Structure 1
């Protein structure tokens, strides 16, 4: 039975990566439209289960009247088959409908719909631009993706278990009251008007307050994750109390928003309690009055009072369900603001993959300012020949890393073009562009997976022999073999911790270099690739990098000029422009910006005397 229901909906079914709609109704419809058939069946089964429950109340009234009018010795003979029919509905049909309804909801919809929403939202957000992630807490973004799935799922379940159940029960109850005596409808209709007023005027504020609560909860999660992610800085500066205050202020805001939601829910509970008490009093008094007047039977009183007691019991949790529905819609609206943003950098429709045959790179009148006025890159033009090794030099903020980020198309240009082998990189897919560029940066981000997984990130289909060879070329095999963790894993199977915190900076850097060696891309970018290494290890790595750079087009950035002084050409940048070009010796003799930077540093490149 479990397997049958669980197979009705494939949570991870193949689907195009599409921007979810930005309006709540369309957003919900986007996820529910593909399963509308399943939803229709679930509503039908739940509705039939509700009507089966109402039939029991009708049976109760009939039973009371039969017992009052039929002699005991004739009771089973006269009503035996009717009692058997009642028993069939009570112990077979109704339980079967209830179980089928719960199976569809609990085993099919709840797990699969949650995972489907999370999966599709995750895939869309993962392909957002670099700017998107730089402008937000990673923990906050993850919270939005994670909480929107359960919120949408609960909204659907709330409709089925709350709104739909109330509608079907009321339809059946009204029909029963009308069959008994139309005057019994008066208290019910008055109660329905009051109940509708409560929902109309008191529930929507909960939706707004819930959206505020969702935002406060996400922000709090972001603060907690930020503190834990940067635990080394917290420890180094002894700022545990400062982080306490940072998170405490987020907790105060979240607690205030939570209390606002709870106050609104309490006020609704008070209003509903008064309504239910008045309904029970009015219906009981009216039923007794009609019985005394001979208009209805004792069985009708049993049905009327039983239905009202059941209705008042249901009304409380249905109102809570409806309130939760609005809370979840508020959570969905809050999540949409983050999840459903259009991608900042997109591929053109039917963009082809980039083909790199030579590795020539050309920057043509490139202009980029991060959306600000002035600065960064101004009308820069640069040709890099196939196989040429070029070093980018300049003060911090000169635009070196920005130029590399533009080559990788992390941002779209504001003017000009970048071409690889004559192809404008804006016309090809981003994935194919980055597949042809290997990058080792100073900010070495490792995944919280094994060392083997991190190295294989450069080429997932690589053999273990190729992976170990890359580690050896990166001078990483020595320390890898001696690693172990608390779960008994050793060597390449050791998990490195979040962003590689279990490894030293130099060890992380060597893993990153091994990853790029394994990738073996025709274009190589080295952004402070050896900045975290000591001199002895750097000497070993430099020799391996020479081998790695053979036959590749290389762009290298280094503040330590000795590491790039022997490259084919050095390009000196200042204020987003190229101010000097040439070899190390030429630039030193020229006495310009490069010469001044060189004078402030000592030593030379491997085997290259200082001048």
Structure 2
């Protein structure tokens, strides 16, 4: 039975890959309409639960009146059928309806809807551009993804429950009171108007302050995670207290905003408690006066007094529920600011997979400025023949890494186009583009998973034999068998730590090379692949890189010019344009920018021919 209810909502259903709405209520509708049958069932069952609860108070009044007007000996004989009906409602209908309500909420809605929202938000956000993640804390993004799913589900369920309890309790109470005497309903009607007025005053303010509190909480989470992610820098610069102050500032802001919100909830609680006191006293006093005048029965007194006390308790619950609803709405509103953002880089409609036959790359008059008014790249033209190995050099800020970023389409060009085997990369699917390009970067970032999982990122369907062959070619088999993590996992099963911190720089680079060897893409990009290594580690890895480059079109970026002097052609960039192009020997003879950079690195002691 539990599994059947748990299967009603598929947490991993593939969504329409559209940006979620920016409007709060349309955002709710976007996710809730996906599970409308389950929510409709919850609404219907909630109606039944609330109706049964109210009927129990009606039974109390009826029992009092039946007992007052019937001799004890004949009581069960005269009212046996009515009492049996009441017992069935209390013993059968009420438990069944409550159990069904709990199954719908706890088994169907609570786990699956929460995680469907998180899953779909994660799927949308993970496809955002690189710039999106560079402009925010990773911790804050993750916090908003996690919070939004839980808050949307919680507030939606609370709305369903609160609507029926408010409608059924107050509506039924007014009808039952009016049936006894029209005047008996007057205090309750006045209370309803006053109660709605108080909620109308407080709730919008609670919602606004809840949004601010949630925003501050996300900021605090972002700062904490940022410190943990960069704990080595924190320790190297001995700035523990400075980091504490940085987090304390955000924590103080979050505390202040939370206090501002709780002041409102306390004031709302006090106001409704006073209002409820008037309802209890007014209804009870009026019922007693009407009884003394002979206009209502003792059962009406029991019904009205019991029901207003129940309404009093319920109104406090409703207040907290409504307050919780708008707190959660505020949290959802905070999440929308991150989740509902257009993607800067998107596949065109009908984008086809990239088909690489030779691996020729052509940059045609490309312009890119990272959104600035100028600089970086302006009208660059470059053709790389199939199988050609070129080195890209130049001073810092010349545009070398930008050339790689736009080739991988991590950013869209502002002008011009890039062709691979004649296909405009802006017209093909991003995933297919990047699957055809292997990249080894300077700052090799590994996932906090096992060695095997990190290598398999190159080709998830690779066999164990293929993994080990790639590891041998990358010469990583020298250290992998000796690895042991903190939980005793060894070799290929050892976890590497966040960003691979448990490995040395050379070990991380060899794992990265093994990963790209396994990928075996026809185009290879080396972005400062050995600049973080010492000369001995670089020499050890160079043979692996030579093996990696065989039969591929290669674009290698390096500040350390000796690593690319053997390339077929060197391209010198300065301020986003090509200023020189040729072999190492030709550029040295040209006595231009490359020659100056070479002399600066070698100190004038290494002859150009020897280096070549």
User: Counterparts of 1:292-331 in structure 2 under 5 Å?
Assistant: 292-331=292-331
Q: Secondary structure at the match of 1:477?
A: coil
**Cα pair distance change 1:409/1:393, threshold 3 Å:** same
Q: Deviations over 1:39-97 (max 9, x none)?
A: 11111111111111111111111111111111111111111111111110011111111
The question of whether the paired residues in 2 share the 8 Å contact of 1:563 and 1:605 is answered with no
Q: CA deviation at 1:205?
A: 0.4
In the other structure, the counterpart of 1:86 is 86
Mark the runs of 5 or more structure 2 residues left unpaired by the alignment.
none
User: Counterparts of 1:246-395 in structure 2 under 5 Å?
Assistant: 246-395=246-395
Q: Deviations over 1:533-568 (max 9, x none)?
A: 332332232122222211110000011000000000
Q: CA deviation at 1:32?
A: 0.6
In the other structure, the counterpart of 2:443 is 443
In the other structure, the counterpart of 1:552 is 552
User: Which moves more between the two structures, 105-114 or 600-609?
Assistant: 600-609
User: Counterparts of 1:575-586 in structure 2 under 5 Å?
Assistant: 575-586=575-586
- 1:34 & 1:415 partners in 2: Cα distance? 40
- 1:504 & 1:74 partners in 2: Cα distance? 92
In the other structure, the counterpart of 2:522 is 522
User: Which moves more between the two structures, 534-543 or 263-272?
Assistant: 534-543
In the other structure, the counterpart of 1:609 is 610
Q: Deviations over 1:237-292 (max 9, x none)?
A: 11110100000001000000110110010010011011000000100010001000
In the other structure, the counterpart of 2:37 is 37
In the other structure, the counterpart of 2:173 is 173
The question of whether the paired residues in 2 share the 8 Å contact of 1:539 and 1:606 is answered with no
Q: Deviations over 1:81-134 (max 9, x none)?
A: 111111100111111111111111111111111001000000000000000001
- 2:79 & 2:586 partners in 1: Cα distance? 112
User: Counterparts of 1:108-507 in structure 2 under 5 Å?
Assistant: 108-507=108-507
Give the TM-score normalised by the residue count of structure 2.
Answer: 0.98
Mark the runs of 5 or more structure 1 residues left unpaired by the alignment.
none
Q: Secondary structure at the match of 1:48?
A: helix
Q: Secondary structure at the match of 1:8?
A: coil
The question of whether the paired residues in 1 share the 8 Å contact of 2:409 and 2:425 is answered with yes
The question of whether the paired residues in 1 share the 8 Å contact of 2:585 and 2:608 is answered with no
Q: CA RMSD in A?
A: 1.5
Q: Is the aligned partner of 1:566 residue 2:566?
A: yes
Give the TM-score normalised by the residue count of structure 1.
Answer: 0.98
The question of whether the paired residues in 1 share the 8 Å contact of 2:572 and 2:578 is answered with yes
The question of whether the paired residues in 1 share the 8 Å contact of 2:365 and 2:417 is answered with yes
Q: Is the aligned partner of 1:67 residue 2:67?
A: yes
Pairs aligned (count): 611
Q: Deviations over 1:316-368 (max 9, x none)?
A: 11111101111111111111111011110011101111100011111111111
Q: Deviations over 1:387-431 (max 9, x none)?
A: 000000001110000011000011111111110011111010101
User: Which moves more between the two structures, 504-513 or 296-305?
Assistant: 504-513
User: Which moves more between the two structures, 110-119 or 507-516?
Assistant: 507-516
The question of whether the paired residues in 2 share the 8 Å contact of 1:509 and 1:532 is answered with no
The question of whether the paired residues in 2 share the 8 Å contact of 1:450 and 1:496 is answered with yes
User: Which moves more between the two structures, 206-215 or 103-112?
Assistant: 103-112
- 2:378 & 2:443 partners in 1: Cα distance? 26
Q: Deviations over 1:176-199 (max 9, x none)?
A: 122222211100011001110111
Q: Secondary structure at the match of 1:270?
A: helix
- 1:415 & 1:160 partners in 2: Cα distance? 52
- 1:544 & 1:607 partners in 2: Cα distance? 25
- 2:546 & 2:569 partners in 1: Cα distance? 15
Q: Deviations over 1:209-258 (max 9, x none)?
A: 01101110000000000000001001111111010000000100000011
The question of whether the paired residues in 2 share the 8 Å contact of 1:602 and 1:610 is answered with no
- 1:158 & 1:89 partners in 2: Cα distance? 25
Q: Secondary structure at the match of 2:541?
A: helix
- 1:228 & 1:538 partners in 2: Cα distance? 30
- 1:127 & 1:407 partners in 2: Cα distance? 17
Q: CA deviation at 1:489?
A: 0.6
Q: Secondary structure at the match of 2:495?
A: coil
